[in-house]
């Protein structure tokens, strides 16, 4: 008897409260960030009703408010949204997480964060001379000063946060300056995203920079080690954990290839799975990637559609091609589908710039550091 793919369990519910963003980053992948629509309370009701009525919730999961600048909507909006979620909850632990550009953080936001235990990630690309190259206002000015006001307030309020720094080619020459920026501003947890070829951002300054990228990673790792790991880097911790652990290095594998491990819902209630960045993109082969709408469709019903089966099949074929051809597969699990599509034009493909930098270079650099680390 033929059975369908295993669905879930749900790990991330990515909700787009609004596609609008108050700034205009040059490397942004969001195609509709001038749209000021917002997710209605009725749509929020339907989202959480659908989620908790499904069988994909089998343990704790995180709600990520993203895909626009979530803080352009007021804290009162989220207080109501959190209450809606809890009203439908059937005893599962939900964590709420915001990824913000940090320009709108104020005391009212800090009150909400503290009251609800919200996790906060702030996007900041290091010192001002790097950050302001790409992260600009809609009038073309830099945003670093505004972001730092938000970070300083979070620090004064004693609110834990992490930062995401997007690495461009320009950043690769300044590992010492980025590290000093973290230390000087009390930043203890950081993650590196690379400038990706994705959506409207059809080029990356990192193309052809593999050796410089490896040198940056190596130098930054040395700085972190010399500093007693006062700054924790997400990529270093997860990769070292996999390299030093005799168990299956599943912590580095992507859940973007597992149906309904991630569900993304836009402000109108349209939803998809796999890579969150697919929602809002269009493609000649796959259309708009929408699998259903929470006002009409259950997740189970959407998983029976031809659009879902085609998406799942092509992603799975690409994973198997990676499994059969790449020695780094155990540290990746087959790559991020959105990067394969945007870089190679197909889910049924293998290596991307994203995996060369974000997986292969990282593993190689840290493997080279392990003998020295063991001797220390």
Full-model pTM: 0.93
pLDDT of residue 255: 87
pLDDT of residue 2: 47
**Which residues 6+ apart lie within 8 Å of 328 measured at CB?**
355, 359, 360, 363
pLDDT of residue 201: 87
pLDDT of residue 374: 47
The single-letter DSSP state of residue 296 is: T
- Residues of the chain predicted below pLDDT 70: 1-4, 246-253, 372-376
pLDDT of residue 375: 44
Cis peptide bond N-terminal to 9, omega within 30: yes
pLDDT of residue 252: 55
Residue-by-residue DSSP string for 62-120: EEEE-SS-GGGS-HHHHHHHHHHHHHH--S--EEEEEEE-STT--HHHHHHHHHHT-EE
Q: How far apart are CA 357 and CA 235, in angstroms?
A: 11
12-255 CATH, one of 3.20.20.70, 3.40.50.2300, 3.30.1600.10, 1.10.3720.10: 3.20.20.70
Each domain of the chain, given as residue ranges in start order, spans: 12-255
């Amino acid at each position: 008897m033929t059975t369908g793919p295993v669905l879930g369990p749900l790990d991330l519910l990515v909700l787009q409260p609004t596609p609008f963003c108050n700034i205009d980053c040059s490397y942004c992948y969001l195609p509709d960030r001038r749209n000021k629509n917002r997710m209605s309370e009725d749509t929020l009701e339907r989202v959480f009703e659908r989620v908790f009525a499904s069988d994909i919730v089998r343990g704790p999961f995180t709600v990520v408010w993203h895909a626009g600048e979530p803080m352009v909507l007021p804290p009162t909006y989220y207080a109501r949204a959190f209450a809606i979620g809890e009203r439908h909850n059937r005893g599962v632990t939900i964590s709420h997480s915001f990824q913000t550009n940090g320009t709108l953080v104020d005391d009212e936001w800090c009150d909400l964060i503290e009251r609800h235990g919200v996790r906060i990630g702030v996007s900041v690309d290091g010192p001002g001379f790097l950050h302001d190259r790409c992260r600009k206002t809609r009038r073309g000015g830099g945003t670093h000063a505004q972001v730092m006001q938000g970070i300083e307030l979070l620090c004064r309020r004693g609110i834990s946060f992490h930062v995401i720094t997007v690495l461009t080619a320009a950043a690769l020459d300044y590992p010492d300056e980025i590290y000093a920026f973290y230390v000087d501003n009390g930043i203890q947890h950081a993650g590196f995203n690379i400038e990706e070829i994705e959506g409207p951002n059809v080029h990356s300054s990192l193309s052809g920079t593999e050796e410089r990228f490896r040198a940056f990673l190596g130098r930054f790792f040395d700085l972190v080690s010399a500093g007693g790991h006062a700054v924790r880097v997400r990529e270093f911790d997860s990769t070292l954990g996999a390299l030093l652990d005799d168990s299956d290095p599943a912590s580095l594998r992507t859940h973007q290839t597992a149906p309904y491990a991630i569900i993304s819902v836009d402000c109108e209630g349209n939803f998809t799975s796999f890579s969150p960045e697919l929602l809002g993109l269009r493609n000649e082969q796959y259309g708009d990637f929408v699998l259903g709408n929470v006002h009409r469709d259950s997740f189970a019903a959407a998983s029976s559609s031809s659009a879902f089966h085609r998406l799942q099949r092509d992603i799975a074929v690409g994973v198997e091609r990676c499994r059969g051809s790449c020695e780094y597969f155990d540290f990746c699990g087959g790559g991020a589908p959105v990067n394969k599509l945007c870089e190679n034009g197909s889910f049924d493909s293998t290596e991307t710039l994203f995996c060369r930098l974000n997986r292969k270079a990282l593993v190689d650099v840290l493997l080279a550091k392990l003998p020295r680390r063991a001797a220390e």
